[in-house]
């Protein structure tokens, strides 16, 4: 029996994780569930999964949940705040931590799980984007087991030998092929994107995701963040990673070997597949996912990404090449930009313009200290908001 903490349990990854766990009550038990502010959904999860602990961001929401759990006769202890997130991540009762908090908020609790030597199922790409060198150093130092859950990175992981540390050249890999669906605006020209609405941007053709990651997918920033993440996970650089637009989202990514072989992982676009892989590794368990029907798929298409219409991918590659705190600044500016877009205060094309301007204004700092990274994250957000205020809704 493995005990699991799910960070970000009310989001799409968190709910899919609990679905897989519920299919195997003889293998997994939930220790803690955490949410940002979705107290009603978290209460429903407490009723079903009976965690020992539940965490919300603010004490007001925690007090409401505490009362509801008490009235329902649940033994769940309800706590609040950032420190509580870190505590449930390193709890000695826990073997597995699903890191599914979206954005920079997931960095510290995920890092706490790593430093406690847990098996960390990494769905929070920002942890590596912001602090890749520090994070991977902590994984090695504390002997944590890090398994990628993003479908693309999980696919690459499955296409590599089990021991792939020491660089891709050591295992004969010449290139990683990171697939992208292209999002809901595949084939659109730059001038057409100016009038895109949040509802359109969140209507992904293949995947069911939260609003923030849906917008990132539409701008191709999600693929840019994944490129940065892949550099750290697989000890490579941006030049060794090719992004391939694959609208069907059936091939989740590939590894090209120097002998001419290309290994691919295929499956239906359902996050329960990589989640089940991470929970059961090195075994395999049933995940509730339909078997892929190649006759129904019928065809697989590929094309190059349009970086003129969607420059976020190029900005991410440049930030990773610049190094230091540049990826953290990229991520912070993007989070502010997406929030403004979803609130109707910034156009869709204004997202990449804001990220570009913030990157231009912040020279990369050394990323050897976590405090420096967090300070640059804070400054980049403030700078992005200053730009928004000066623009006054004109972009």
The beta-strand segments (E) located in the chain are 2-7, 28-34, 53-56, 77-80, 96-99, 119-122, 145-148, 173-180, 241-245, 251-257, 262-266
Helix or strand holding residue 165 (H, E): none
CB 94 within 8 A of CB 202: no
Do 119 and 171 belong together in one domain? no
CB 313 within 8 A of CB 108: no
**Is 366 known as a binding-site position?**
no
Judge whether 273 lies within some domain.
no
Is 102 or 369 the better-scoring residue by pLDDT? 369
Do 230 and 166 belong together in one domain? yes
Do 227 and 302 belong together in one domain? yes
The 10 Å CB-count burial string (b at 16+, else e) for 80-118 is beeebbbbbbbbeebbbbbbbbbbbbbbbbbbbbbbbbb
**Is 37 known as a binding-site position?**
yes
Q: Which of 137, 95, 88, 151 is nearest to 120 (CA)?
A: 95
What region does 233 belong to: left with phi over 0, alpha with psi -120 to 50, or beta?
Answer: alpha
**Is 12 known as a binding-site position?**
yes
The 10 Å CB-count burial string (b at 16+, else e) for 315-335 is bbbbbbeeebbbbbbbbbbbb
Give 180's strand partners. 245
Is 37 or 80 the better-scoring residue by pLDDT? 80
Reported as a single tens digit per residue, the pLDDT across 109-146 is 999 999 999 999 999 888 999 999 999 999 999 999 99
Judge whether 192 lies within some domain.
yes
The overall pTM is greater than 0.85: yes
Domain range spanning residue 65? 2-148
Reported as a single tens digit per residue, the pLDDT across 230-256 is 999 999 999 999 999 999 999 999 999
**Is 67 known as a binding-site position?**
no
**Is 11 known as a binding-site position?**
yes
Q: State which of 88, 115, 148 marks the end of a domain.
A: 148
Q: State which of 258, 279, 308 marks the end of a domain.
A: 308
Q: Classify strands 262-266 and 251-257 as parallel, antiparallel or unpaired.
A: antiparallel
**Is 150 known as a binding-site position?**
yes
Reported as a single tens digit per residue, the pLDDT across 310-352 is 999 999 999 999 999 999 999 999 999 999 999 999 999 999 9
Share of the chain above pLDDT 90, in %: 91
**Is 217 known as a binding-site position?**
yes
Judge whether 7 lies within some domain.
yes
Judge whether 279 lies within some domain.
no
Q: State which of 133, 148, 163 marks the end of a domain.
A: 148
Look at residue 206 and tell me whether its pLDDT is greater than 80. no
Pairwise CA distance, residues 45 & 17, whole Å: 12
Q: Which of 123, 113, 107, 100 is nearest to 11 (CA)?
A: 100
Judge whether 282 lies within some domain.
no
Do 8 and 118 belong together in one domain? yes
**Is 222 known as a binding-site position?**
yes
Q: Which of 16, 11, 7 is nearest to 271 (CA)?
A: 16
**Is 210 known as a binding-site position?**
yes
Do 242 and 213 belong together in one domain? yes
Q: Which two tokens stand for residue 284?
A: 């395999």
Look at residue 166 and tell me whether its pLDDT is greater than 80. no
Q: What is the mean pLDDT of residues 196-211?
A: 84
Reported as a single tens digit per residue, the pLDDT across 261-310 is 999 999 999 999 999 999 999 999 999 999 999 999 999 999 999 999 99
Give 264's strand partners. 254
Pairwise CA distance, residues 375 & 385, whole Å: 16
**Is 142 known as a binding-site position?**
no
Give 120's strand partners. 97, 146
Judge whether 293 lies within some domain.
no
Pairwise CA distance, residues 215 & 202, whole Å: 6
Judge whether 277 lies within some domain.
no
Do 53 and 171 belong together in one domain? no
Do 138 and 228 belong together in one domain? no
Pairwise CA distance, residues 61 & 78, whole Å: 10
DSSP track, 213-276: HHHHHHHTHHHHHHHHHHHHHTT--GGGEEEEE-TT--EEEEEEETTS-EEEEE--S-THHHHH
Do 165 and 304 belong together in one domain? yes
CA torsion, ordered 185, 187, 192, 193, to nearest 10 deg? 40
Do 142 and 252 belong together in one domain? no
Do 138 and 170 belong together in one domain? no
Number of domains in the chain: 3
Look at residue 380 and tell me whether its pLDDT is greater than 90. yes
Do 157 and 304 belong together in one domain? yes
Do 187 and 125 belong together in one domain? no
**Is 226 known as a binding-site position?**
yes
Q: What is the CATH number of the domain that holds 369?
A: 1.10.1740.10
CA torsion, ordered 11, 16, 21, 23, to nearest 10 deg? 140
The 10 Å CB-count burial string (b at 16+, else e) for 247-268 is bbbbbbbbbbbeeeeebbbebb
Q: Which two tokens stand for residue 149?
A: 């859950």
Quote the distance between the C-alpha of residue 277 and its chain's center. Answer: 16
Residue with tokens 């892949």: 230
Helix or strand holding residue 139 (H, E): helix 126-141
Judge whether 102 lies within some domain.
yes
**Is 223 known as a binding-site position?**
yes
């Amino acid at each position: 029996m493995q005990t699991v903490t799910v960070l970000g349990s009310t989001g799409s990854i968190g709910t899919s994780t609990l679905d897989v766990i519920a299919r195997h009550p003889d293998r997994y038990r939930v220790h803690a569930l955490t949410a940002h502010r979705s107290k009603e959904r978290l209460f429903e999860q407490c009723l079903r999964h009976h965690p020992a602990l539940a965490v919300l961001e603010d004490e007001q929401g925690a007090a409401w949940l505490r009362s509801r759990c008490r009235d329902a006769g649940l033994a769940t202890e309800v706590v609040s705040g950032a420190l509580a997130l870190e505590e449930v991540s390193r709890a000695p009762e826990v073997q597995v931590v699903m890191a599914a908090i979206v954005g920079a908020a997931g960095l510290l609790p995920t890092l706490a799980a790593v430093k406690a030597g847990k098996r960390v199922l990494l769905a929070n790409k920002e942890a590596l984007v912001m602090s890749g060198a520090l994070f991977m150093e902590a994984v090695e130092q504390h002997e944590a087991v890090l398994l990628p859950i993003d479908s693309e990175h999980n696919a690459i992981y499955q296409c590599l030998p089990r021991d792939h540390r020491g660089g891709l050249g050591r295992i004969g890999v010449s290139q990683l092929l990171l697939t992208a669906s292209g999002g809901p605006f595949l084939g659109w020209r730059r001038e057409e994107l100016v009038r895109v609405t949040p509802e359109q941007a969140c209507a992904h053709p293949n995947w069911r995701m939260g609003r923030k990651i849906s917008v990132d997918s539409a701008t191709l920033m999600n693929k840019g963040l994944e490129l940065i993440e892949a550099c750290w996970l697989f000890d490579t650089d941006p030049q060794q990673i090719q992004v391939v637009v694959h609208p069907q989202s059936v091939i989740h990514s590939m590894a090209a070997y120097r002998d001419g072989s290309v290994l691919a992982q295929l499956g239906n676009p359902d996050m329960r597949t990589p989640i089940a892989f991470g929970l059961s590794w090195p075994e395999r368990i049933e995940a509730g996912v339909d078997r892929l029907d190649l006759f129904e798929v019928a065809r697989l298409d590929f094309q190059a990404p349009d970086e003129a219409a969607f420059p976020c991918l190029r900005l991410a590659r440049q930030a990773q090449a610049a190094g230091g705190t540049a990826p953290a600044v990229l991520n912070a500016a993007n989070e502010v930009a997406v929030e403004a877009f979803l609130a109707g205060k910034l156009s869709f094309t204004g997202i990449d313009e804001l990220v570009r301007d913030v990157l231009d204004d912040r020279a990369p700092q050394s990323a050897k200290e976590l405090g420096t990274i967090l300070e640059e994250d804070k400054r980049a957000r403030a700078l992005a908001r200053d730009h928004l205020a000066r623009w006054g809704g004109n972009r």
